[in-house]
Amino acid sequence: MTLVQMQPHPAGSATRTVVSAMDAPGPQVWDDMTVEVALSVMAGAHARHLLVIDEDGRCTGLITQAQLTGVRDSSAYTDRVRLRDILGDAGPFPSPVTTMVEAEHAMRYLQLGSLPVVDEHGCAVGVLTLSR
């Protein structure tokens, strides 16, 4: 692994963890939910994203309204498309003890605005969002 040279941060920021900056997890939905139902849940919850979980309650990803409407508006869309079909391989996710420097670097590298934070069992405990 190659280390990435980063600009200096104020004292203490290198050890600050994501738990200090994450938001509550918000609405969680099963990965077998259809796109239309997920959009309805999102609208009803007035949420900007949904955390997607598998049958074991482990977080498999985070999906936004823009992603859902993009899929729904595509020519390949059918009413049988499930969230698991559009998420792909989203992990691994940061844990609450991941440093902010590490998480921010990963999010910028992967071009992600938001990222689930999971515990040692893979269950979502929060969401980390980059400020633009």
Residue 5 belongs to a domain: no
Containing structural domain, residue 123: 18-129
What CA–CA distance (Å, rounded) separates 84 from 34? 9
Q: Along the 132 residues of the chain, how does pLDDT read in single tens digits?
A: 233 333 444 545 568 999 999 999 999 999 999 999 999 999 999 998 999 999 999 999 999 999 999 999 999 899 999 999 998 766 689 999 999 999 999 889 888 889 999 999 999 999 999 875
| CATH number, domain containing residue 50 | 3.10.580.10
How many domains does one find in the chain? 1
Are 82 and 31 in contact by the 8 Å Cβ rule? The answer is yes
Residue 2 belongs to a domain: no
Could you tell me the sign of the dihedral formed by the alpha carbons of 69, 71, 74, 80, in that order? Answer: negative
Residue 80 belongs to a domain: yes
Residue 3 belongs to a domain: no
